[in-house]
Structure 1
Amino acid sequence: MSETAAAPAASLRARAEIDLVALRANVRALRALAPGAQLMAVVKSEAYGHGAVACARAAVEAGAGWLGTATPEEALALRAAGLRGRLMCWLWTPGGPWREAVEADIDVSVSDMWALEEVTAAARAAGLVARVQLKGDTGLGRNGCQPGADWAELVGAAVEAERAGLVRVTGLWSHFACADEPGHPSVDAQLALFREMLAYAEQRGVRPEVRHIANSPATLTRPDTHFDLVRTGIALYGISPSPEVGTPADFGLRPVMTLAANIALVKHVPGGHGVSYGHKYVTPGETTLGLVPVGYADGIPRHASGTGPVLVGGKWRTVAGRVAMDQFVVDLGGDEPEAGAEAILFGPGDRGEPTAEDWAQAAGTIAYEIVTRIGTRVPRVYVNEEQSG
């Protein structure tokens, strides 16, 4: 990921400004919502597009006791960058870097017998005890061990491996399917099954350090799901898991990323002038067009063609015509900002600019995707890197 700490905004084609003060404040707000649990800062996928290393450091500074990634490669990269403390990763495939993870003191998730066999082999080869967290599928239907006979087999084998000194079962966990839909009956059903799976494992001698099932929406709205640890992903970056759950401000959160670009060209065109590929937009009359030098190669969703909002000169504009690979156009309605003027695609909304949620609505997707897809051609410019106080 391209990172820039000091380059002036005027010299950059585009930039994603990452406010680390906002991120730290979000960590503190989330910890206050789950005072009886530790907090895991999930920094998978380059911290949802914000930059994993910088965000992980800021989150730990603000009191996150755990870091979480999807892939082992992401976790190992954090270790290589000097991040210490508790770190978990959960998306494994056969033949993965188990030994490297064991040697790097990373908690690894196990959902099936093949994974337990591979991690115990890695622990034996390394001469170390592997830290393992067993994941149960309580209803999401993705990763995780099925309840019943499969769970009994996995728990039994893990207990035997622990007795043999090869692993330490540090956690039992699961993941909600519909916690972002308040009142969805699956939440209570999953929670009840999770409690049953916990009880079974604990009756057979598992003594986990942490039990966890709460993701961002459950952390925000379901205190009864917090257990020993909450895993906060999108909320950490000041974005609501869904409008149904509430706005960021409802939970004391602030969006961390502001995406902006510098207008590359302003020009006068007559009425009836086609704009961008396919001429899906034709100017209704004489006007001015502004060229914004970012496109779908930078992560701007093509699905927002004709709908994506942009703040230019204090006014909301809309993407005119199709988003192209490297650029899109806005109709400025006769206004004439200078080349180099700022176009804000989204941010916290303080200056009247659109938010990531506005772009999600425009593109028919979720705000998670809007921030995560911003590509490597867009430098991350970190502000407020030094922690005050």
Structure 2
Amino acid sequence: MRAARAEVDLDAVARNVAALRATVAPALLCAVVKADGYGHGAIAVSEAVLGAGADWLAVALVEEAAVLRRAGITAPIMLLSQPRLADLDAAVRFDLRVCVHTSAAVELLAAAARERGTRVLVHLKVDTGMNRIGVAPSDALAMATEITGHPELELEGVFTHCAVADELDNPFTGVQFDRFEQVLADLAAAGIEPCLTHAANSATAIEHPRGRYDLVRCGIAVYGIPPAPGLAAPLDLEPALTLRAEVSMAKRVAAGEGVSYGLRHRFTRDTNVATVPIGYADGVPRRFGLCGGEVLIGGRRRPVVGVVTMDQLMVDCGDDPVSIGDEVVLIGRQGDESITAEEWAGHLDTIAYEVVCGIGPRVPRFYRRDAS
């Protein structure tokens, strides 16, 4: 077993879900567990969030949903994107809420449902300005009418996605709400009233009450990470993931020597260097030591030095003693110090989502409940 490991506190996940439910009620809470539960482990997280009161789950891919169904999870699972046309039959087989926004998908989905003798619950995606996927607002009524024209399909939901909800002073979120509500009004005027309307990701659900509608889709907040710096402070979210490793090599390196490929870092004094067996193949970016990345050893912050290699990274421990087997915390708390995924994101000019989703499959996940 590798020394590197990710530990996920499922009690923290459950408490985050409880805080979110209290915030968004009476809207339903859909926990987003795509990308293997944002790197935390989709099956374990799904079981934890459902046990804590989440109503639905959401994923991006049919194969992600299949993993959950095969694990015995029977809760409603929504696809956030329209599947490949070739995957629509599998979406029916696994009893998924299917996102659609093209006529081709509607026709093939109806045929797959007819072949299996079942009725499929459909959610129509409307693009209100993110310009990623979805039907244009001007075409939404025609698409909804097409869906309701198939007895094998039920238009359970209509939804959109907010592009800038994490920018509280950006008025475009309100523009998207206006466009979405106009679509809903057009549908209602035509006698089409889906039972579920939804637009909220974590940022929208927490900061924009208008956008909660009937259901909210919370991803990053479930894992205890704010959607953006400063957001969600009143919820007191708890980061669920700790990334640990152990020192695998410790040595004294003389002043003037370099470290790692390219010798891009040279020491200006004699120093103790620790090698840690985790690298860019595991989700620690190659440039992490060149942009201010740090780890915790002995309860103190230590700089990563040189480029991170595929399987290992090196840490400057100064004159402090360091030994093989010493614990290294890359994300999480050690003593009075802590390093967060948001801190990584600041160094790397990205977002915390990418940090936790990037922790690779070579890093085993371990799960804690009730301090066990």
Cα deviation per residue 1:202-232 (whole Å; 9 max; x = unaligned)? 2223232211001000111111111110100
CA RMSD of aligned residues (A): 1.6
- The answer for unaligned runs of 5 or more in structure 2 is none
- Aligned pairs, number: 371
Q: Output the CA distance in 2 between the equivalents of 1:274 and 1:317.
A: 17
Q: 1:349 to 1:28 in 2, by over 3 A?
A: farther
Normalised by the length of structure 2, the TM-score is 0.96
1:134 partner SS = strand
Amino acid at match of 1:336: P
Q: Are 1:181 and 1:244, in contact at CA under 8 Å, matched by a contact in 2?
A: no
Cα deviation per residue 1:145-175 (whole Å; 9 max; x = unaligned)? 0111x223211201211xxx21111111000
Q: Output the CA distance in 1 between the equivalents of 2:137 and 2:18.
A: 35
Q: 1:366 to 1:208 in 2, by over 3 A?
A: same
* Alpha-carbon shift at residue 317 of structure 1 (Å): 0.8
Q: Output the CA distance in 2 between the equivalents of 1:360 and 1:299.
A: 12
Residue among 214, 227, 241 paired with 1:257:
241
Q: Output the CA distance in 2 between the equivalents of 1:220 and 1:198.
A: 22
Equivalent residue, structure 1, for 2:174 = 188
Amino acid at match of 2:329: I
Equivalent residue, structure 2, for 1:14 = 4
Equivalent residue, structure 2, for 1:203 = 189
Comparing 203-212 with 25-34, which one deviates more in the overlay?
A: 203-212
Residue among 204, 209, 222 paired with 2:208:
222
Q: Output the CA distance in 1 between the equivalents of 2:116 and 2:128.
A: 33
Residue among 17, 20, 36 paired with 1:30:
20
Q: Are 2:31 and 2:222, in contact at CA under 8 Å, matched by a contact in 1?
A: yes
Q: 1:386 to 1:205 in 2, by over 3 A?
A: farther
Cα deviation per residue 1:251-310 (whole Å; 9 max; x = unaligned)? 221000000111101101111110111111111101100001111000111232222110
Equivalent residue, structure 2, for 1:213 = 199
Alignment of 1:171-182 (within 5 A): 171-182=157-168
Amino acid at match of 1:314: G
Equivalent residue, structure 2, for 1:304 = 288
* Alpha-carbon shift at residue 335 of structure 1 (Å): 1.4
Question: Structure 1: which 4+ aligned runs deviate by more than 2 Å?
Answer: 90-97, 202-207, 348-351
Equivalent residue, structure 1, for 2:274 = 290
Alignment of 1:129-148 (within 5 A): 129-148=119-138
Residue among 295, 299, 310 paired with 1:325:
310
Equivalent residue, structure 2, for 1:269 = 253
Q: 1:211 to 1:255 in 2, by over 3 A?
A: same
Q: Are 2:123 and 2:159, in contact at CA under 8 Å, matched by a contact in 1?
A: yes
Identity of aligned residues (%): 42
Comparing 90-99 with 309-318, which one deviates more in the overlay?
A: 90-99
**Does residue 37 of structure 2 align to residue 47 of structure 1?**
yes
Q: Are 1:181 and 1:245, in contact at CA under 8 Å, matched by a contact in 2?
A: no
Q: Output the CA distance in 2 between the equivalents of 1:233 and 1:71.
A: 15
* Alpha-carbon shift at residue 385 of structure 1 (Å): 7.1
Q: Output the CA distance in 1 between the equivalents of 2:312 and 2:178.
A: 50
Equivalent residue, structure 2, for 1:240 = 226
Equivalent residue, structure 1, for 2:217 = 231
Equivalent residue, structure 2, for 1:6 = none
* Alpha-carbon shift at residue 36 of structure 1 (Å): 1.5
Cα deviation per residue 1:123-155 (whole Å; 9 max; x = unaligned)? 11111111101110011101110111x223211
Amino acid at match of 1:334: D
Equivalent residue, structure 1, for 2:350 = 365
- The answer for unaligned runs of 5 or more in structure 1 is 1-10
Residue among 109, 127, 147 paired with 1:119:
109
* Alpha-carbon shift at residue 13 of structure 1 (Å): 1.5
Amino acid at match of 1:159: T
Q: Output the CA distance in 2 between the equivalents of 1:128 and 1:274.
A: 66
Q: 1:386 to 1:117 in 2, by over 3 A?
A: farther
Alignment of 1:49-88 (within 5 A): 49-88=39-78
* Alpha-carbon shift at residue 244 of structure 1 (Å): 4.5
Q: Output the CA distance in 2 between the equivalents of 1:204 and 1:293.
A: 61
**Does residue 146 of structure 2 align to residue 157 of structure 1?**
yes
Comparing 306-315 with 58-67, which one deviates more in the overlay?
A: 306-315
1:96 partner SS = helix
Amino acid at match of 2:144: V
1:347 partner SS = strand
Residue among 297, 300, 319 paired with 1:315:
300
Q: Output the CA distance in 1 between the equivalents of 2:133 and 2:270.
A: 56
